[in-house]
Chains A and B, each alone.
Chain A
Amino acid sequence: MGSTSAQHNGGLGRRDVIKRSAAIGLITVPTMSFLASCASSDSGTDNKVEKGTTSEKNPLGVNETASLDFVLFDGGFGTEYATDAVEQYKKAFPKAEVKFTPTQKIQSELQPRFNGGTPPDLIDNSGAEQMDMGVLVGKKQLADLTPLLDAPSYDDPAKKVRDTLRPGVVEMGQFDGDPVWILYYAYTVYGVWYSQTALDRLDAEYPEDWDAMLALCAKAKKKDIAGWTYAGKYPYYLPFSLYPFIGKIGGREVLDAIDNLEPNAWKHPAVKAAFEAYFELFKKGYILQGTPGLDHIQSQTAWTEGKALFIPNGSWVENEAAKTTPKDFQMKVAAPSGLDSSDKLPFGTIWASGGEPFIVPTKAKNPDGGMEQLRIMLSEASSKNFTTKVKSLTSFNGGTDGLTLSTALQSGVDALAKAGDNVLNPRMQDWYAALQKEKIGVGVLGEMMAGRMTPAEAMNKAQEFADAAAKDDSIKHYKHQ
């Protein structure tokens, strides 16, 4: 272990060598202008494939010999539904070569390709490594999908693709004005999830207003069952039932104002009423002990174990919690209970919107091929295939006839039918991810539901965060049309 002291005999000390070599390293660094070329290597000469001939079978005019490059997020839904659709594409265009790449690392794999100007033709931009849609749109990296939406649908040439989709899907793909940048393929129902068996045991129906909700929670508490639990570590799950609750009390405009980051949007009486109602759950001890420290899986497990009755969640929970769900659980989703009879929208008002966002990059070589692939996926057969394989709905309206659905999926279909036109679609989570998750989610809702903030403080804080985001020039701002 012995060490030697630096020599001071005029020779070259170790430290000197290091210092000087670092200096040399700095000098050898090339000039800035050269560096700049690293990020902007090749903004891309236009190297699109030629358009094919348009026909009844090929309404988008896909070049029949051009290859298709398709990157899919390999997540909870797997890849089979996509590979089946790719087979269909190959059948339609036998001369075309399809390069299909499933991955979980969307951002790491595709960011360099976007930067280099050579993105694939179709991307399922989903998962933990999802690329920020707002930025992609803002930087004009995405192709307008309007030609696809106006093309005849796969099953019925008399009907446009646009008219075969569920409510809200087209709107969700828009950011600013008419162009549609994103096509959400899966369709998610958000709301209050519960076990019918657990309610039956308490001799209860799903409560339609808040008094009934509190009464049911009180009843459950006597049997040592908590009323609610939620993903305490990711409190941005709370909005799945809270936002439609606000919308039901005060109407669609309240949520639109929140999305538009309008001044005082969070101070609306409907927000106040909803916050106070949720805070009451905490005050009366109806929230499962320790919930603020649970992550989504832990809270779902506590819920499937019967420790709590209700959990705000989305339709992926059926698959995600499948391992811990008892056979006789009878998982169901319901629209949020209302406050009272003065609510603006009827019971059944629910939040549903697209999931699995598919995009076609502007600089794709074969954008028509990408859109044609999507058109195939939006056929009734492909949609049914998806629903059967992954137990989730697609954006294709219908496509469940003749299928045996699980209780959860069936309850989702029923909830959508009951909601009719009253489907809400708050946009905070796709327009302002940081604001929604870190600020409103963790910083406001999480704190309030843990009892560390009163509803009044929470409203002020939320408004403060929203105002700051509205003022922040580094974020692109959007408005409801």
Chain B
Amino acid sequence: MQHGKYRFIVGFLIVPLTLYGLFVVWPFVQSIYYSFTDWTGLSPDFAMVGFDNYTRMLDDDTFWSSLQHSLTFALLLPVVVLGLALFFAFMLNVGGRHRKGSAISGVRGSGFYKIVYFFPQVLSIAIVALLFQFAYNPNSGAINSALGAVGLDSVRPEWLGDPNLALWCVMAVLVWSTTGFFVVLFSAGMASIPKDFYEAALLDGANRFTTFFRITLPLLWDTVQSGWVYMGILALGAESFAVVQIMTVGPGGPADSTNVLTLLVYQKAFRDGQAAYATTIGVALLVVTLAFSAIVMRLGRRERLEY
């Protein structure tokens, strides 16, 4: 049945393939093309300039600091968010005390927690960023007011105004707003793991720790892996742009301490009228994203389990 299989498959996929080519591949090729021009984005005429934009990018300190922050986001955020989400999901589904009649159960009130954890997901990232901007207000914000209320009047950090803290403040917001989604995702995954596995493990005397690492995590691996890629793309892409653009000094400051690649692309294209240079940075971002997914796929590859 091998004969003509490609024609067969392509025949079925011709419409999605055309759409994919038109709306995904074509724009990619276009932006790569524009990165070799001096297009301003404000006028129809431009000329080819070869690798000028690329040499300029390699000399651009702002680009390097943005790259560094984007990479920090992409490496750290998934670890923290997925780690937290796995812990919460496990406690909600498996981690509770044993009760009569069921081998495993979540902690008390797990239904309630599930809803609470999902709340941030309902809010748009722009609103979340605005809310936290108020909370971080060093003068009258919730956090410093709380510090004052417990007698820590002398400790009043400037949060977003402090180059050593700003990036962490932004990251904390992203953790807060994304963890809930993965809690729900992982809960769904855990619910589909057959209960007999847990029963067998319990009969063998396994504690929660062992159950998690020997049963839950391996059987959830596929979900964790796609969560990892998704989280990485989110950390490199739109969400990180939104919080940095809305919350930070400048935005991107203080002293370039929070700039990320997506924000740099936006600033170059829409503030400075250097669309070609912006697409050059976009190409760099594309490379970073591709490398990230390749690495995650490679690291995550292991024998799949059927159950």
Residues of A within 8 A of B (CB): 1-5, 10, 12, 17, 20-22, 24-26, 28-29, 32, 35-36, 38-43, 107, 111, 114-117, 129, 131-132, 134-136, 138-141, 232-235, 288-295, 298, 302, 307, 433-434, 437-438, 441-443, 446-447, 450, 452, 474
Contact = CB atoms under 8 A, between A and B. Distances in A.
Interface residues of B, number: 68
B270 A129 contact: yes
A28 B219 CA distance: 40
Nearest to B163: A452
A141 to B, nearest CB: 5
A442 B44 contact: no
A40 B44 contact: yes
6 contacts: A1-B223, A28-B18, A40-B45, A132-B273, A290-B138, A290-B139
B204 interface: no
Given A39-B46, A40-B45, A294-B137, A32 B33 contact: yes
Contacts of A22: 25
B213 to A, nearest CB: 18
Given A12-B9, A292-B254, A474-B56, A4 B138 contact: no
Interface stretch (B78-86, B91-99, B245-253, B281-289): B245-253
Given A32-B33, A132-B272, A25 B21 contact: yes
B42 A39 contact: no
Q: For the complex of A and B, list the 9 residue pairs with the smallest distance between their C-beta atoms, beginning with the closest.
A: A290-B138, A292-B161, A293-B161, A135-B273, A132-B273, A1-B192, A139-B43, A293-B138, A290-B139
A290 B305 CA distance: 55
Contacts, number: 196
Contacts of A437: 250
B46 A442 contact: no
B10 A39 contact: no
Given A135-B40, A446-B254, A233 B161 contact: yes
Interface stretch (B114-122, B152-160, B195-203): B152-160
A228 B125 CA distance: 33
B255 A442 contact: yes
A40 B40 CA distance: 12
Given A140-B43, A438-B250, 5 more contacts: A3-B304, A28-B17, A35-B30, A131-B273, A452-B255
Contacts of A36: 33
Contact of A293 (B159, B252, B255, B270): B159
A293 B277 CA distance: 31
Contact of B13 (A21, A35, A450): A21
B137 to A, nearest CB: 6
Given A233-B248, A298-B137, A474-B274, A29 B29 contact: yes
B76 to A, nearest CB: 23
B161 A139 contact: no
Contacts of B29: 26, 29, 35
B141 to A, nearest CB: 8
B307 interface: yes
A21 B249 CA distance: 44
Contacts of A131: 42, 273
Interface string B39-61: 11111111000000000100000
A141 B43 contact: yes
